[in-house]
Homo-oligomer: A and B are copies of this chain.
Amino acid sequence: MQTWIEVPDGSPFPVTNVPYGIVSRGGGRPHVAVAIGDHVLSLAAAAGTGLLDDALRDPELGVVHRDVFDAPSLNGFLALGRPLWTAVRSRLTELLTDPSYEGALRPALVPRAEVRTHLPVEVADYVDFYCFEEHASNVGRIFRPEQAPLLPNWKRLPVGYHGRAGTIVVSGTDVVRPCGQRLVGGDPVYGSSLRLDIEAEVGFVVGTPTRLGQRVPTVDFADHVFGAVLVNDWSARDIQAFEYVPLGPFLGKSFATSVSAWVVPLEALAAARTPVPAQDPVPAGYLRPAGDAYALSLAVQWNGTTVSRPPFADMYWTAAQQLAHLTVNGATLRTGDLYASGTVSGPRPNSGCFLELTWGGRDPVTLDDGSTRTFLVDGDTVTITATAPGADGTTIGFGEVTGRILPAT
């Protein structure tokens, strides 16, 4: 596929990707755009031309949802559901590849460098899973050395918990080192976290809601999930270690969770689908069939040094299984729900968190500037990127989720 927009070689945003985000320019209103090459196409402006009318026509109501992109979040568009998501994507592909539309759409194109990106989704509930065996085992070994590393429930169901939706921020937001209580020589001390960490994850964005009591079988995954983002679930390990028994992580996580600015639609990930790793024992019926794994290649940069390439395709429970589990008790989904994979980790050094990478701080890593690190130092920047096979032999990217650590206040 060729687009009439110049796309630099190696751009994460070829025409086979076309991820959605929220942008503003100057003092203008935040609105929906898609990223292509070094540009963004304002969908608010594009819809204003009428060229998206057919794709935005509601099959039941007949109305055209032309205003859905003139909004500060994707939620209105997410609520329209799979048929319209697919119709809009098909139409955008047509518009971006047929040069006869350039004249009409050129005014809606803006260099990406000239826009500010905003949180793409108003997050309803945020769930964080724990679906990488390497991570769950390593955390077990480090936090609970006296027990078996993997707990009995782990291969029976996708273990997860609710995180704080209100502190999800867009990539680029600074992260202030949190304060809380941690143990020093067995006694709790209040102060700033000394073991500030990342968790490199992939998150899935729910568009189509359910009613209370409705389960989502794994085969219905794509009816409800719109697309995927990168997630950095910043974690204060010392605060977490003291607080988390028996009700799970709380303040050790709730100070900030960063997500990438661009939501990659599921269709763009079709070429990245790959067989699921073996699941043994056979999962419960509501977790079958497993659905697809995705061959995403993540990279974690610490102050510019790539310290890890966590293997997302190794995820034990698929995103479809996570969703089926989340709803098997009848819990509703709402438009804007976000659920994340848990830390993407393979054998060291391809760990998705520094707790594992440095084995609890025992084994420092050396950055390209010669400095060493165990946990995050004030001023450090962490950037997580990901690529995936796209259609037509292309490679697509997620952009990045990045954040810099500011001192505690």
Contacts and interface: CB of A to CB of B under 8 A. Distances in A.
Interface stretch (A238-246, A313-321, A394-402): A238-246
| Main SS at interface, chain A | loop
A125 B165 contact: yes
Contact of A181 (B139, B156, B245): B156
15 contacts: A140-B246, A156-B181, A156-B188, A157-B242, A160-B247, A161-B161, A162-B162, A169-B212, A176-B213, A179-B329, A180-B329, A212-B256, A236-B329, A255-B331, A330-B409
Contacts of A332: 166-167
A190 interface: yes
Q: How many copies does the complex hold?
A: 2
Contact of A244 (B144, B181, B246): B246
Given A127-B250, A251-B326, 10 more contacts: A125-B165, A139-B246, A151-B246, A159-B243, A164-B331, A166-B331, A166-B334, A247-B248, A254-B329, A330-B409
Interface of A: 124-125, 127-128, 130, 139-140, 143-144, 151, 153, 156-157, 159-167, 169, 176, 178-181, 188, 190, 212-213, 236, 239, 242-252, 254-256, 284-286, 325-326, 328-334, 337, 409
State the 4 A-B residue pairs at the shortest beta-carbon distance, nearest first: A248-B248, A178-B329, A161-B247, A162-B162
A250 B286 CA distance: 17
A180 B284 CA distance: 10
A104 to B, nearest CB: 40
A250 to B, nearest CB: 5
Given A157-B181, A161-B161, A325-B251, A331 B246 contact: no
A331 B256 CA distance: 7
Contacts of A254: 162, 326, 329, 331
A179 B325 CA distance: 10
Given A256-B212, A328-B251, A143 B179 contact: no
Nearest to A214: B409
Contact of A153 (B124, B156, B169, B243): B243
Contacts of A248: 161, 244, 246-249
Nearest to A188: B156
A254 B127 CA distance: 11
A356 to B, nearest CB: 15
Nearest to A332: B166
Nearest to A243: B153
A10 B125 CA distance: 40
A39 B364 CA distance: 67
A167 B284 contact: no
Contact of A190 (B128, B169, B244, B285): B285
A218 to B, nearest CB: 14
A247 B249 contact: yes
A185 B336 CA distance: 39
Query: Which of A163, A213, A249 counts the most B-chain CB atoms under 10 A from its CB?
Result: A213
Contacts of A176: 212-213, 330
